[in-house]
Amino acid sequence: MLYDAVVLFSKALQDLDNGKYVEKFPVISCDDISKGTDGTSIINYMKSNKILGLTGLVHFDGQGFRSSFSLDILQLSKQGLKKNKPFTMLKNSPRQLSGNERYEGFTIDLIEELSKVLHFSYEIREVADKKYGVEIDKERGIWNGMVGEVLSGTADMAIADLTITSTREQVLDFTLPFMHTGISILFKKPTEKVKSLFSFLSPFSAEVWLFVMAAFLGVSFVLFLVGRLSPYEWDNINPCRQEEKIEENCFTLLNSMWFTIASLMQQGCEISPRSSSTRTAAGIWYFFTLIMISSYTANLAAFLTIEKVVYPIESAKDLAKQTKIKYGCLAGGSTKTFFESSTITTFRIMKEFMDKHPEVLMESNEKGKEEVYKGNYAYLMESASIQFLTERECNLTQIGGLLDHKGYGIGTKKGNVALSAWLSTGILKLQEEGVLHTLKERWWKQKRGGGKCVEKPSGSVRELGLGHVGGVFVVLLVGVLLAAAIGFLEFLWKYRKFSTSQDNIKKLMVKDIRFALTCSSSVKEVHRFKRRKLESSQSTMADVNDIKFGSSDFSSRNTGLSIKQ
């Protein structure tokens, strides 16, 4: 507690220093009535801060009292101090208790509710040997534990987390189950969370991204085809020379793809459709991009702020397939009996593994939990106990579903059918009224530190690190390098069309590169040289042309020309 107090105080000092400039902290004396000028501010910072210290969550309310903390109730046994289970526990009280009032827990509340419904009185008695009950002498049919005391008449009923099994059913009559459970896997949560470099792609699945790319290519081709077929997309490039009838179509294949990608990225484009057919295709594409971009943006924030936890195992089948993670259960319990009697291949493999490695079998569930905390170990136990642990031990979790299905019931002496049926009627009534659900919520998620591991939503926005958005920078870098490579290839492609000496071409290329690197102007001198002569019969055509570089004249306007008679 002293350590947590110093940590909280130091954090308050840091917050105070960040909020205002503290030149010198005044000397404070307990004997002097004077106080520091910043004392009230420090107290307010300590009240508003929350830290997870050695004694758990440290948080103060407005009155300055510590709140939101939990204490463990311990009892002394021959093995030392140990924690009680949620079914039956000794009540914590400053005064001496006796009789039924000494106990509390799920089954204590259950028998109390049953007594109210069925109108009977009862006395709670602890079993002498602290056992549930196994057959210790098969020849004489002698059992120990709670089962043995019911058989001998020492107790009228056994009420606890007593599993209904076929062996116990032969000597006892059980009521309807008041709680259903099954064997599951207790495992330690991974401490490292996976951050995907390309997490910005997560809002859509790979299948959706493929369909988006297919839609992009398909719409681009449709615009190209429809644009060439429609007469309204052709325009005279020389309006002053109507006799020439030379028309141009802006929807080339590359321009169609540029128009499609620009609208997909919610950007403008210098190309615009004029005909009804191309405008219809463009309008439908606009609607498609509106829905897709809105859906992507809505999910992007959630996927960028979520750090995915990857577990090495997902089920019992995964455990059976590997050998790196060891697994075991309680030695001599009903879980071990389940694996010994099972005929399912996966469970037979797990049973053989536990037989070959007896060290994985634990003498108590507490030992199993400690082994899980060490890492690379999975403990097989009943899900009701796992749920109780995971509500209080935030580093533990349940893996997969249930390996089997069974229930806890109240055991009565064999042949006393009326008593078991009478109790079953009360259990059904409590179930219908929701009392059983309320009791489990109380002892699993509220009492004795329950609900500690519930993640509460926070109103603050968490900042994104490079691990969340690093993929965007990778895409940007690749795109810039690709654009630079294409531009260089275009530069080389233009020069390969002209026939002159290699030295002249190199000099001109060097001159153009230097001009481009100076970034001084977008206008430059026109180079005049001869184009390569064509090998066809038209080689006599004019072979001297003016070629302009560095401005919009660089692109040819002959693409997509159509000469009409």
Cα-Cα-Cα-Cα dihedral sign, residues 159, 163, 164, 169: negative
Q: Which residue has the tokens 């809002």?
A: 203
- Residue 163 assigned to a binding site: yes
User: How many beta carbons lie within 10 A of that of residue 84, not counting itself?
Assistant: 16
Q: Does 382 carry a binding-site annotation?
A: yes
Compute the distance between CA of residue 548 and CA of residue 555 in angstroms, rounded to an integer.
9
Q: What is the dihedral of CA 159, 161, 167, 169, to 10 degrees?
A: 40
Answer whether 539's CB lies under 8 Å from 219's CB. no
Q: Is 334 annotated as a binding residue?
A: yes
Tell me whether residue 37 is annotated as binding.
no
- Measured between alpha carbons, how far is 278 from 276 in angstroms, rounded to an integer? 6
Using CA atoms, how far apart are residues 182 and 475, in angstroms rounded to an integer? Answer: 49
279 φ/ψ angles, rounded to the nearest 5 degrees:
-70, -35
Q: Phi then psi for 330, rounded to 5 degrees?
A: -75, 130
Bridge partners for 181 per DSSP: 406
Which H, E and C letters describe 255-311, residue by residue? HHHHHHHHHHCCCCCCCCCCCHHHHHHHHHHHHHHHHHHHHHHHHHHHHHHCCECCC
Cβ count within 10 A of residue 49: 17
Residue pair 157/123 in contact by the 8 Å Cβ criterion: no
Helix (H) or strand (E) holding 225: helix 206-229
Does 397 count as an annotated binding residue? no
- C-alpha dist (Å) from residue 470 to 293, 315, 418, 462: 21, 33, 70, 16
Rg (the chain; Cα; Å): 40
Tokens of 298: 């809505």
| DSSP-assigned beta bridge partners for residue 52 | 57
Instruction: Of 11, 21, 57, 126, give the one whose Cα is nearest residue 394.
Output: 57
Whether residue 303 contacts residue 203, with contact meaning beta carbons closer than 8 Å, is answered with: yes
Region for residue 514 given its phi and psi (left: phi exceeds 0; alpha: psi -120 to 50; beta: otherwise): alpha
Q: Which of 142, 111, 138 is nearest to 124 (CA)?
A: 111
| Nearest CA-CA partner of 524 in 502, 546, 540 | 546
CA–CA dist 222, 37 (Å, integer): 76
Output DSSP code: residue 531. Answer: B
Please tell me the distance from the alpha carbon of residue 427 to that of residue 407, in angstroms, as a whole number. 13
Tokens representing 117 are 């419904």
Map residue 22 onto helix, strand or coil: coil
State how far the Cα of 111 lies from the Cα of 121, in Å rounded to an integer: 10
Please give the annotated binding residues, written as ranges: 163, 168, 334-335, 382
Residues annotated in the binding site for L-glutamate, as ranges?
Answer: 163, 168, 334-335, 382
